[in-house]
Structure formats: C-alpha cells, structure tokens
Structure 1
C-alpha cells in the first residue's frame, strides 16, 4: 500500500514536470514564433521599402532624362532661330521670308534613304502659295511648294531625282554669268547643266545660282550648288557640267520666299 502511494506520487511528479516542460516549451516556441514573425515582417517591410525607393529612383532618373532631352531640344531650337535671324539679314530685300518648321520627311517607296519631300508647319491659311520657292538657313534653294493644306505644306526637294527629271531650272554659273538649264542625267543619275557654249568661262567649284526671269518660277540669285566637273558633250560642240547639290541639312527651319 505504501509502495503504491509512493509510485502514484512519483507519477504525479513526472506528470507535473512533463506539463511544466510542455508549457515552458510551448511558451518558448510561441515566443520564438512571434520573434520569427516579427523579424519576417521587418524583412518584408524593408524589401517593400527598397522596391518603392528603387521605383521612385528609376522614375526620377527617367524624368531627369526627359527634362534633359527637352532642355537640349530647346537649346537647339534657340540656336536655329538665331541662325535664321542672321541668315535673314543677308537675303535679298526684294522678297519676304516667312520662317517655317520642318515637321516631317517623305521618302519614295522604292528608296528609303533619299528624302524626296519635307512637310512644313505653314499652309494656305498662313499665306503659303503653290510653287513658292523654299530655301535653307544656309541660303540654298532646296525645293518648291507642291501641296498645300490649311496649316501644312509639302515641299518637293530639287535634289530629288523626281524633281529634276520633270522640270529644269534656269541657272547662271560663276562670275561671268554663264547661263544654262539645270537638269537630271538619267544615265549617270546626277544633276547637270547641258549645252553650255564652248566660249563660256566656267570653272570647277563655281557657284550655280537661279537665273530667274519672266518665264521662271524661281526667284533669281539663290544658290543651288557648285560645279563638280566639266566636259564636252559627245559631239564636241558644247560643254556640260555636273553640279553638286548640297544634301538636306540638319536644320529644322526653312524660309518660304514670298
């Protein structure tokens, strides 16, 4: 009987110890779990914060790039306007010269390299008329108005094959005012002046200018290009000269010749 009570008491102690251990372990486990969850929340919060900061930083960098690009465009635009103002002072006073901005370029379908036409931001309601000449800021005649809408116009460039194949330009060359007609050689694919008198005095690098006249659409005195080579024609009776027309510049403004 005594042994039985002793064993029972011992069992109760073991159970009590087990309960204490279990409860203590549970408390420790719960505390550890809470600590783990707390640390995990902090880590997630830090990751979210880093993500938000990185996103804001990227947006700030992109915004700065856009602002920098806009600033450079404004600076270029201002330089162009200064160049236009200086060029306008040197143009013949017998005409007026509205300034227009190039807003688009056109290329023929079979040739995506050569620019055939440009579109400007002035049109019929701005006083632009068909066949008016257009000159660059470098004072070269570069084309004529061929299509007009209310506030835009299409300018066919004279250095395009299609232009000179369909029409010639009356020109004079050099200081001695040798005259001729600027045309397009379909065999050589180059602009040239044909049927120049052998008595004429022309030289390489002579400036080719519009000759004007009552029958010409083009005002007199505007540069077109320079003589790049001179030769006799196949019969040896007259001279012909190839002409180097300047490429379309990077300028974004042009003058309409009124």
Structure 2
C-alpha cells in the first residue's frame, strides 16, 4: 500500500467579507499520485491548492505533510517545509529579464542562505544540474535566452524544470495550461506527467479542461462551492457526475 504523504482534515477558508471558499475539506493523498482537481470557476480550487503551502492562509483545519502540520508551522519551519513543495503557476512566475537557466536555478533558493540567494551564488555543479533538467524538458537550446523571449508553453516548461530542480516531495500546479493553446497545453502536461513519473513526485493539478483531466490523472477530485463533490479514479467520472459538478446550484452529491 502506498504511503500517505498528505492528510488534509477539516480545512476551512473564510475570507474577511464572509465568503466561505473552503468548507471542511478532507482529503488523503498517497505518494506518487497524479491528482487533478476540477470544478467551475470560483469553486475554491485555487484556494485549496494555495492553502497547502499557505500562500493562502487557512482559517482552520490541519494539513499534515510528512507528519507535521503546515498550518501550525512558524515562519522558519514553513520555509523549510516549502522546500519539499514545488509550485507551478498559471502565469509562470518567472523572472522575465533573467536567462532561462537562472530561473531553473531558483528552485534551489529554499536551500540557500538569504544573502547567497539574493546574490545568485550558484556553484558549477548546480548550474550543470539545471542545464540537465532543461534538456529533459526539451529546452537545452534555450538555456541562455531571457525568459521573456520564450513562448508561453516554453515558459511553463521552464517552471516545471524549476520545480524539478527543487527536488520536492510534492508538486502543486495551479491552472498550468489555462493560458496556452491546445498543442502547447499537451506538451506541458506531457512533460509534467513524465517528470512526476520519473521522479516519483506526488502531483496535484488544478485544471478547467475536463478532457485533459481525464487523460492525465489517475485520480480526480471535483470541487464545487468549496466542498468535495467527487473523489475517485477517472473511470468513475461519468458524464452525469461532470454535469453535476459544473451545474449551477448547491445541491450536494455524495463523494
């Protein structure tokens, strides 16, 4: 049986205006799973993903990662825990003026002192490792171009390379293909899936595209109105379930 790497218990997020973004989310995630979160806009998908590494602060609940509660971690402890959590953003979150390889090297910042990171003091071994990872995502010939000279799909592959270079236990990807055309989306998802299979990363991806979710996930979680409406393997995600997740209204269906 696969080891549980992440245990989420009674997770809630309420914004200052009273909006309940997450309502008692409970989820157990195994090592090596490739999970896709689906649901309508405003369902709470991004809030959920960002709560895991506390980019969005939970209101209450527990997020047990490697046996420790992220929610209760102080600033120093949280920084250390985030080393093991790679993050891929919809907007790539690269430093556009820096070379591609330098952006990949930023995956190591969590392991460096603040002053070394600020000065970009990476050694030759680290540079060679970053170049090797760029080769794995098909961008070795783009290593010394500025990030803003790359296409959107290429920039997202740089973000994947940066996450790989972090050597995390888990990767969170928040709508990584939302701004890409279908061909670029497939390339990005192929590289993400391949990297996670090769490295054994646990992966949680938010997607709007249900067809991509069904193609790449081994487990799908449907969120609607801040609650889990579906959690199961792809083969159990019927058209009726999909319609229920995306239908307007708050009628709950059993998980």
- TM-score by structure 1 length? 0.23
Instruction: Indicate the structure (1 or 2) with the bigger Cα radius of gyration.
Output: 1
- TM-score by structure 2 length? 0.23
